[in-house]
Structure 1
């Protein structure tokens, strides 16, 4: 029998990681039935693979007001409760329990919620722990404050109840994002591995088109959670204005290209009110860029493209970022970033500072538009600084190839083991 696997993921970044692993697993086991239960949002990252017959999405799905970050604010929690998060979670729990009665394995991607559901299935399960890294409290820049003391006492950013679930006999695979974090859990008896980071797969890119040679190039990342993403983009574009309008010192400011790759949201139509409010006008799309829309204002040419991250990311000299996974990927490609935290619910000051520590300062946290403008001026003026920060980002994110390594482990420890037991 070909077998079945249920995958649980709890966020847009986790969906993307799960998707890469599942595509690699499908190549190894094309007859394996792959079911995906997105715990947060609609799981739009899986839509193309579902249409191609690689997998199927199951279970109830709903876009929550907090975007899955209700643990970061009381307001977000209350809004999620009003939107029916308790009923949604109950239905998801019951579905996972029904799946587990057949003994088919479960793969959890994310943090505590999918891990807890996988354990509750009663079936063999594996875990890909995506968000936590011991780099966030063992290295700078800045201090993790009280959190660092707490994690140092534990010896891991993961909590005791999480490593207890990872250490169960039914947990056949624990894969973490880096060797430092894996070693921390090994000291607590968890058989954890760090086979590679799937976040860096599929980002080969294409050569820079001739039409763009000579431009200063920025990558603009506002995140994928609406409406927060539009607020993030507005703050970053206003900060860019502060750089363009500051006293001369950057001679190439007259040829400034801003690349804004997005997922399904915000769509080009979502951008319209924001860009018109800021005074941008439609412009011609340069050849070879694959952009869906182009807008200009003064010296700035802004290109927008859904699904354009893999094509555009490596073209950037500096990233202006208020995103999670995409910012880490950009830094992993060697592109230093500057972030500008906002009111959230995701990209707040604490999140941005943690991201900066994770990446060893390859992402610099700015507290104001003027600070971002000053630091952008420095980065564009100093290629040696850009290269040094780029090397740090690559080191912290690791090389591509993690998806294939994880797919092999999932096949061996979950799929093949379940088939043999059956």
Structure 2
């Protein structure tokens, strides 16, 4: 199989979460195809996930003012245009066409933008759909009440032009994010492969249901805090979340509470610490080796019957350890739900985590995400959830159903080896 060394794969993705998913698939591809030449073109952002994993970048990369959320706010779109979006897009399209002429193939990860770029490449491509799910419009029982007649008429969360791009002869494989979406897409001439969601890879095994049925009786309640990964929005979310913890501490005064704040590694940690101090939290000298997570750089705070660990280096451990989350995040919330655990959320000021985004997230993730309007409502809602053993059991089942089992990246990579790189 000497010919493999001449094969090339270009990965196109549009967002940090999409970059991470693409990296997981690429790493699995490398195992069986060590001579495959792989490069990446991150449409949004600077491609730090690729750089960190020694995957070469091609073409121009640039962080736009919107951070990739232009579809949520027209003002963000105009800011991106002023920041050079059009020029950058044209340059990226030129790189893609050059790549295809050299005999390369395309793996598009994200939404319609990388999918469209893949089609414009004029070469064979595969698509990993991370952004859309039929759960936004329906569940296993049928259409949701809020689904409009137009959405029902279209027949799928994937619009007709998106399905057209997925059904072209050069589209050799499409990987939806969940079982329900895969089943719906099979109605059309689309090469659908249902291998699960790579988002759950590297997080760990799904929580056992029996662990979730006695949370209210636990002496120590572990609560994950997820403010998001983009500044300044993450800090604004953080302030709302910390405001909520005061009421949680009062409500669960007879228990010890461990808050675990998973802060994105790329964020400056000092503003998060400063707000805690302003809200009456005190730093402690607790020995690092006594922490339930492995992060020598973690900072520990205390307040009444609660402790709070601020970490940037123990993400997966934090998700595994926590019983419940107060979250204002996208991907991280989905991963926590995939572990079979409940999330309490509230809308922020955006540009990502708005009221509309939060409401859409409850449709995507179902009963696993409970939406409240204000931070002072979180504690009582948390009490109701933790005292409902039947609901917790349903949440555990729902999480796996919506997010799938770990190992999707490897399954997708094996399929790509067979259908795209044959």
Cross-structure match for 1:103:
103
Q: CA deviation at 1:84?
A: 1.9
Cross-structure match for 2:326:
320
Q: CA deviation at 1:270?
A: 4.7
Name which of structure 1's ranges 269-278 and 334-343 shifts more when overlaid on structure 2.
269-278
Cross-structure match for 1:128:
128
TM-score, length of structure 1 as denominator length: 0.89
Cross-structure match for 2:89:
89
Cross-structure match for 2:231:
226
- Say whether residues 1:370 and 2:376 are aligned partners: yes
3-state SS of paired residue (2:137): helix
Report the Cα distance in structure 1 between the residues aligned to 2:260 and 2:50, rounded to whole angstroms: 24
3-state SS of paired residue (1:355): helix
Q: CA deviation at 1:144?
A: 6.2
Q: Which of 9, 12, 21 is 1:5 aligned to?
A: 9
Q: Which runs of 5+ in 2 are unaligned?
A: 212-217
- Say whether residues 1:398 and 2:404 are aligned partners: yes
> 1:201-350 to 2 correspondence within 5 Å?
201-204=201-204, 214-246=219-251, 250-252=253-255, 255-283=256-284, 284=286, 285=288, 286-291=290-295, 292-350=298-356
Asked if the contact 1:321–1:338 (Cα under 8 Å) also holds between the matched residues in 2, the reply is: yes
Asked if the contact 2:204–2:406 (Cα under 8 Å) also holds between the matched residues in 1, the reply is: no
Cross-structure match for 2:192:
192
Asked if the contact 2:223–2:326 (Cα under 8 Å) also holds between the matched residues in 1, the reply is: yes
> 1:51-66 to 2 correspondence within 5 Å?
55-66=55-66
3-state SS of paired residue (1:218): strand
Asked if the contact 2:238–2:272 (Cα under 8 Å) also holds between the matched residues in 1, the reply is: no
Q: CA deviation at 1:250?
A: 4.8
Q: 1:28 to 1:330 in 2, by over 3 A?
A: same
CA RMSD of aligned residues (A): 2.4
Asked if the contact 2:11–2:41 (Cα under 8 Å) also holds between the matched residues in 1, the reply is: yes
Cross-structure match for 1:28:
32
Asked if the contact 1:39–1:61 (Cα under 8 Å) also holds between the matched residues in 2, the reply is: yes
Q: CA deviation at 1:72?
A: 0.8
Asked if the contact 2:60–2:88 (Cα under 8 Å) also holds between the matched residues in 1, the reply is: yes
3-state SS of paired residue (2:420): helix
Give deviations 1:18-73, integer Å, cap 9, x for gaps: 111111111121221211111111222233311xxxx2223222222222111111
Give deviations 1:144-195, integer Å, cap 9, x for gaps: 6765432211111001111111111111111101222122222222222211
Asked if the contact 1:140–1:360 (Cα under 8 Å) also holds between the matched residues in 2, the reply is: no
Asked if the contact 2:171–2:191 (Cα under 8 Å) also holds between the matched residues in 1, the reply is: no
Cross-structure match for 1:48:
52
Give deviations 1:203-253, integer Å, cap 9, x for gaps: 127999xxxx9421001111112211111111111112122235xx6521x
Asked if the contact 2:109–2:115 (Cα under 8 Å) also holds between the matched residues in 1, the reply is: yes
Report the Cα distance in structure 2 between the residues aligned to 1:308 and 1:44, rounded to whole angstroms: 18
3-state SS of paired residue (1:220): strand
Q: 1:281 to 1:387 in 2, by over 3 A?
A: same
Equivalent pairs, count: 403
Give deviations 1:264-319, integer Å, cap 9, x for gaps: 23243352333333333322343351232222333332212224221121211111
Asked if the contact 1:336–1:362 (Cα under 8 Å) also holds between the matched residues in 2, the reply is: yes
Asked if the contact 1:331–1:362 (Cα under 8 Å) also holds between the matched residues in 2, the reply is: yes
Asked if the contact 2:327–2:344 (Cα under 8 Å) also holds between the matched residues in 1, the reply is: yes
Q: 1:94 to 1:146 in 2, by over 3 A?
A: farther
Name which of structure 1's ranges 226-235 and 265-274 shifts more when overlaid on structure 2.
265-274
TM-score, length of structure 2 as denominator length: 0.89
Report the Cα distance in structure 1 between the residues aligned to 2:358 and 2:206, rounded to whole angstroms: 29
Name which of structure 1's ranges 358-367 and 188-197 shifts more when overlaid on structure 2.
188-197
3-state SS of paired residue (2:60): coil
Cross-structure match for 2:164:
164
3-state SS of paired residue (2:63): coil
Report the Cα distance in structure 1 between the residues aligned to 2:135 and 2:310, rounded to whole angstroms: 33
Report the Cα distance in structure 2 between the residues aligned to 1:205 and 1:87, rounded to whole angstroms: 44
Asked if the contact 1:107–1:125 (Cα under 8 Å) also holds between the matched residues in 2, the reply is: yes
3-state SS of paired residue (1:132): coil
Q: Which runs of 5+ in 1 are unaligned?
A: 417-422
Name which of structure 1's ranges 150-159 and 182-191 shifts more when overlaid on structure 2.
182-191
Report the Cα distance in structure 1 between the residues aligned to 2:353 and 2:240, rounded to whole angstroms: 12
Asked if the contact 1:107–1:118 (Cα under 8 Å) also holds between the matched residues in 2, the reply is: yes
Cross-structure match for 1:420:
none
